[in-house]
Copies of this chain bind each other. A is one copy, B any other.
Amino acid sequence: MPATRTINKPPLVAVVVVILTVVDDDLRVLLIKRSAQPFRDYWALPGGLLADGETLDRAAARKLLDETGVQDVYLEQLYTFGELSRADGKRAAAAAKRGIAVAYFALVQHRQVRLREGGEWQPGWHDGYALPALAFDNNAVVDYAVRRLRSKLDYTNVAYSLLPRQFTLSELQQVYEAILDHELDKRNFRRRMLSLGIIKAAGGTRMEGAHRPAQLYSFVKREPVVV
């Protein structure tokens, strides 16, 4: 008797994607400006309804591709939020559509992204540590994504998706510092990255402006590692 309850309207199912990148020393989030109610004119995470016959993962990948032109990057399901409508008391009533939102997070190289152009409101990168009030409960979703990213940084290779195939240790360290939002010791950082087997020295070196040549490294694996 697996409880066949009175049948009722299925809720809408949306995916939303927290698309993160690191530019210079900053963690950034991709947001779009809403043109429809509810939360019209609020910044929001990119997202949309599941298309027919589409899996959740594919829907998330599609949204990511739509917004950035990027695919084959780190993309992980985060959490499923129960109601699209929450936060922002005034608008909550208008927003009382029934639905659930499956949140994902993605990590992209800033330089590979081509944002959609034209249209009244451009999507844009926002400082992950100084977001405005977003639509729905999107602030909570971003917080959640950042927390998850931080904890995975420690023991996985997630960062592969934020850097080109070869990179210097300083570049990698900058990425870590931007995400963790604090400084790291150069020597300890190198030791750890190498001894955990996350990265390895790649062939060459590269000149970094007016300095001496820097050893290049690469990730041992450039796919999501299951944890």
Contact = CB atoms under 8 A, between A and B. Distances in A.
Interface string A77-98: 1011011000000000000001
Task: Indicate how many identical chains form the complex.
Answer: 2
Contact of A66 (B3, B10, B56): B3
A82 B98 CA distance: 19
B13 A100 contact: yes
Chain A contact residues: helix, strand, loop or mixed: loop
A63 B2 CA distance: 10
A52, A80, A120: residue with the most chain B Cβ atoms closer than 10 Å: A80
B77 A55 contact: no
A3, A55, A102, A120: residue with the most chain B Cβ atoms closer than 10 Å: A3
Contact of A119 (B1, B8, B35, B83): B1
Contact of A34 (B2, B12, B44, B53): B2
A46 B1 CA distance: 10
Contact of A52 (B8, B48, B120): B8
A51 interface: yes
Interface string A1-44: 11111111111110000000000000000001011100000001
Given A2-B46, A6-B51, 10 more contacts: A1-B32, A3-B63, A5-B48, A8-B51, A9-B52, A10-B49, A57-B82, A80-B80, A80-B102, A100-B102
Give the 3 A-B residue pairs with the shortest CB-CB distance, closest first.
Answer: A55-B82, A8-B52, A56-B82
27 contacts: A1-B119, A2-B32, A2-B34, A2-B35, A2-B36, A2-B44, A2-B46, A2-B48, A3-B48, A5-B48, A7-B49, A8-B49, A8-B52, A10-B50, A11-B13, A11-B50, A13-B100, A55-B82, A56-B80, A56-B82, A56-B100, A57-B82, A77-B79, A77-B80, A80-B80, A80-B102, A100-B102
